[in-house]
Amino acid sequence: MNPPEGGVADELPGVAPRLRDLRRSRGLTLESAAQRAGLSPAHLSRLETGRRQPSLPMLLGLARIYGTTVSELLGEIPPERDAIVRAGTFEGAEADGWMYQQAGGSGRAMQALRVRVPYGAQGDLVRVHPGEEWLYVLAGRLRVSLGDTVHDLDPGDSAHFDSLTPHRIAAVGPEGSELLFVHTLLQSPAAELCLGSGIHRR
């Protein structure tokens, strides 16, 4: 058996049949699914028979094509999903100066966060990752750089963009900025690409 790729666990029991069953339930042929995922049909066939282990980028791509999450592909039991998130004191995680608080249910492909962006934090950090992002400015002014274009957003303004577009987000003024932030990055260790490194709970 070939070694695993991309840091995925040495053995992923059950992933191969789930990949095959999901493809078939979506009405996709091996060839059409492979083309959408940027793989050869032979490579996808090896993934579906367990002769190759998928890398994380492959899992992300296949989960997106099949309309599911990486967690579900790996057979993880989803946490209990609470449809209601109550208001309260802003407490959450800190990552590179930003503060994040969950604003939506857990265990879902669409993640909703309330974010505080301090002035000068992560302003030079360019992000590129799979998914889509939508943000709505609640307070302060926010600078959003998308590729070569720069936009200053005021409270009430929003932005919706493909996360594969190189993007930077920064507060414009010393008072910082606060926003609602929704992204479709799938449940996986790659979430750190969106939240940045060095996440600290508070």
Residue 158: per-residue pLDDT? 97
Residue 15: per-residue pLDDT? 83
Which region among 62-71, 152-161, 168-177 has the lowest average model confidence (pLDDT)? 62-71
Q: How confident is the model at residue 77 (pLDDT cuts 50, 70, 90)?
A: low
Residue 152: per-residue pLDDT? 97
Q: How confident is the model at residue 79 (pLDDT cuts 50, 70, 90)?
A: low
Run of H or E residues at 114: strand 111-117
Would residue 198 be called left, alpha or beta, if left means φ above 0 and alpha means ψ between -120 and 50 degrees? left
The predicted model gives 168-196 an average pLDDT of 71
The predicted model gives 99-109 an average pLDDT of 72
Q: Which alpha helices (H) appear in the chain, and where do they start and end?
A: 15-25, 30-37, 41-48, 56-66, 70-73, 191-195
Q: How confident is the model at residue 75 (pLDDT cuts 50, 70, 90)?
A: confident
| More confident call, 12 vs 133 | 133
Residue 154, amino acid: D
Burial class (CB in 10 A: 0-12, 13-18, 19+), 200: exposed
Residue 7: per-residue pLDDT? 38
- Which of 43-57, 65-79, 131-145 has the highest average model confidence (pLDDT)? 131-145
Residue 100: per-residue pLDDT? 76
Residue 12: per-residue pLDDT? 59
- Whole-angstrom distance, CA of residue 169 vs CA of residue 145: 6
Whether the CB-CB separation of 128 and 164 falls below 8 Å is answered with yes
Sign, CA torsion 55/135/76/96: positive
176 CB neighbour count, 10 Å cutoff: 21
Residue 194: per-residue pLDDT? 43
Residue 187 has pLDDT above 90, yes or no: no
Identify the CA nearest to 170 among candidates 97, 90, 94: 97
- Whole-angstrom distance, CA of residue 195 vs CA of residue 81: 22
Q: How confident is the model at residue 200 (pLDDT cuts 50, 70, 90)?
A: very low
- Whole-angstrom distance, CA of residue 164 vs CA of residue 146: 10
Which region among 63-67, 76-80, 124-128 has the lowest average model confidence (pLDDT)? 76-80
* Phi, psi (degrees; rounded to nearest 5) at 50: 80, 10
